[in-house]
Every structure is written in structure tokens, then in C-alpha cells.
């Protein structure tokens, strides 16, 4: 394509953008947004899933912008936290999903580091995470997410920790480096120890991976368990269910790791204790699911 055609194309795109945001077009652009906010409790599975995807895309786009701008002002530690707040706001506004949180006082606000571990159910976990996500915290994710357009770009720019679960030696080395970085930068880590989404209606958890617990012990950081109510009644991919409602989140007291040895046996004992406490909390806050 010749230079003249490039210039013409850019001019046409610019003119179109001006047309979209012109006063005459504002009602047509704003109407769908306003209607969705008003009727956020309506719509079927596919429609609400599309809205959820759009909310995630908007938040990820903001995340790319925040990852480039906030470090300039020395606010890198607010990147993930601010993106979480944006996502929480748009999903609550457009899908009518809210949270009741117990134990907010256990989120570290003193600048201290911690390893936050949370149960993993479906794609909506990102929203529930956004409701309690602390400042100065990095996310641990599987390596494949790095290559997802926009979302992967944001996570890469925000210094997310990508683990190669297919290669145990690499994963262990990455976990050890993450623990060292925690100590140096005084940051915390958020990780789903189940490693994958359960998609289960059962009030139970999948087996835990040891990575989160090795990180915590190596960094001498407390583990803060976070439990999201089983919300199979609200969202279920198999039955194509996607409703609105309020979900309970319980943040458990920090579990210290200062005196835990780095041996496999000690790590397993710590893992079993944390998992047991999380299952107990899950069953307590999800007891009324069957009545919904």
C-alpha cells in the first residue's frame, strides 16, 4: 500500500472516531451502557458471559496503560490493586454480582509481605479476587496465560510470576526466585494452590500444589488463606447458568511459617493444615447453597 493510501486510511479512522464521540452519537453510544447498568440482573448465560468478557477486556486494557504509566510516578505497587478495583467496579455495575467479606483485618496493611492462597472454582474467581486484592501484590499464573492477547500483556508488564507447571525443575527454580524477590521488594504473592479450576458443586477442594508453601517458607512470610463460597448455584458452565447475587468471602487469620523447615515433610504438614482450615471455612460459608 502506498504512503498516500496509509494517510487516507488514518484520516478516515480519525474522522470515524470523531464521529463516534460527536454530540449526535453520544446517545447511541451511551444507551447500551446505561441499559446494561440498569438491567444488570437480566440476561441469559451467553449474554452475561459476553458482558463478563468485555469487562475483563476493559480492565486488561486499563492494566496495560497502568503498567506503563504508574511506574513513572513511583507507583508500580498499585498496578494490580488499581486494575482489581476497576474490574470489581465494572462487574458489580454491569452484572449485579456483589460480595460480603469477613476477616478484612487479616489483609496485610502494614507493608508486610504474605502469600495469599485462595480456592479456585471458575473464571469468575478473578472478580472475587478483585474484591480483596491487596496493594503491593503480584499474581502467580500458569505460563500459557502470558500469550493471551491484552490480558497476557498486562500480566507481563505488571511483573506477574509465570510458572511452567509442565517442567517441575523449572517451576521449582521460578518459585525460589519469586521467594527471593518477595524478600527484596517487600511484596506479597497471590496464588491458587489447587493449580486449576474445580468447576465443582461439592464443598471440597482439589489437591494442593506445594509451590505456594515453598515460597512462603523460603520467604519466611505468613500464609493468608482466602476462601470464596462455593457459587455453583450462581455460575455453572455445564448447565449454562449465570445469575446475579451476593457471594461470601472469608479471609482467615495468617498462618506463620517462620519455624517451618524447608523439608518436604514439613511443607506437606503445612499444606495439609492450610487446606484443612480452608475446607472447614468453605463448608461454613457455603452451607445454604442447597436452598438457593
In tens, the pLDDT along 248-285 reads: 999 999 999 988 888 889 999 999 999 999 999 999 99
Winning range, highest mean pLDDT, from 29-33, 53-57, 235-239: 235-239
Whether the predicted pLDDT of 3 surpasses 60? no
**Beta strand spans in the chain (E):** 97-102, 115-118, 137-142, 161-163, 188-191, 223-228, 235-236, 241-242, 245-251
Whether the predicted pLDDT of 224 surpasses 50? yes
In tens, the pLDDT along 52-105 reads: 988 888 888 888 888 888 888 888 888 899 999 999 999 999 999 999 999 999
**Distance (Å, whole) CA 144 – CA 160:** 12
pTM of the model: 0.82
Residue 1: its pLDDT value, please? 46
- Cα dihedral sign, 115-208-88-75: positive
Average pLDDT over residues 126-136: 93
Closest residue by Cα to residue 264 from 154, 168, 159: 168
Contact 219, 183 (CB under 8 A): yes
For the chain, domains (ranges, CATH) are 42-286 (3.40.1130)
In tens, the pLDDT along 165-191 reads: 665 666 667 677 777 777 777 789 999
Distance of CA 287 to the CA centre of its chain: 25
Residue 61: its pLDDT value, please? 86
Amino acid at each position: 500500500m502506498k504512503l498516500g493510501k496509509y494517510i487516507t486510511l488514518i484520516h478516515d479512522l480519525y474522522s470515524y472516531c470523531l464521529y463516534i464521540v460527536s454530540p449526535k452519537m453520544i446517545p447511541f453510544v451511551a444507551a447500551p451502557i446505561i441499559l446494561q447498568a440498569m438491567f444488570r440482573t437480566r440476561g441469559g448465560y451467553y449474554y452475561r458471559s459476553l458482558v463478563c468478557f468485555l469487562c475483563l477486556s476493559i480492565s486488561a486494557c486499563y492494566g496495560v496503560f497502568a503498567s506503563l504509566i504508574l511506574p513513572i510516578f513511583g507507583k508500580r505497587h498499585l498496578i494490580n490493586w488499581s486494575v482489581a478495583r476497576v474490574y470489581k467496579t465494572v462487574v458489580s455495575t454491569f452484572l449485579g454480582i456483589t460480595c460480603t467479606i469477613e476477616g478484612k483485618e487479616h489483609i496485610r496493611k502494614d507493608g508486610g509481605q504474605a502469600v495469599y492462597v485462595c480456592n479456585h472454582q471458575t473464571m469468575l474467581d478473578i472478580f472475587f479476587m478483585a474484591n480483596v486484592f491487596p496493594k503491593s501484590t503480584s499474581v502467580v499464573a500458569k505460563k500459557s496465560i502470558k500469550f493471551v492477547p491484552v490480558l497476557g500483556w498486562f500480566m507481563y508488564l505488571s511483573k506477574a510470576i509465570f510458572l511452567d507447571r509442565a517442567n517441575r525443575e523449572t517451576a521449582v527454580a521460578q518459585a525460589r526466585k519469586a521467594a527471593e524477590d518477595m524478600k527484596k521488594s517487600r511484596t506479597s504473592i497471590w496464588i491458587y494452590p489447587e493449580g486449576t479450576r474445580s468447576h465443582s458443586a461439592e464443598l471440597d477442594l482439589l489437591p494442593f500444589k506445594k509451590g505456594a508453601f515453598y515460597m512462603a517458607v523460603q520467604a519466611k512470610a505468613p500464609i493468608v488463606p482466602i476462601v470464596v463460597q462455593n457459587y455453583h448455584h450462581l455460575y455453572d458452565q455445564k448447565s449454562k447458568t449465570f445469575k446475579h447475587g451476593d457471594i461470601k468471602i472469608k479471609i482467615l487469620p495468617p498462618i506463620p511459617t517462620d519455624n517451618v523447615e524447608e523439608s518436604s515433610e514439613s511443607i506437606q504438614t503445612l499444606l495439609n493444615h492450610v487446606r484443612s482450615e480452608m475446607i472447614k471455612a468453605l463448608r461454613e460459608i457455603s452451607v445454604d447453597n442447597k436452598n438457593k
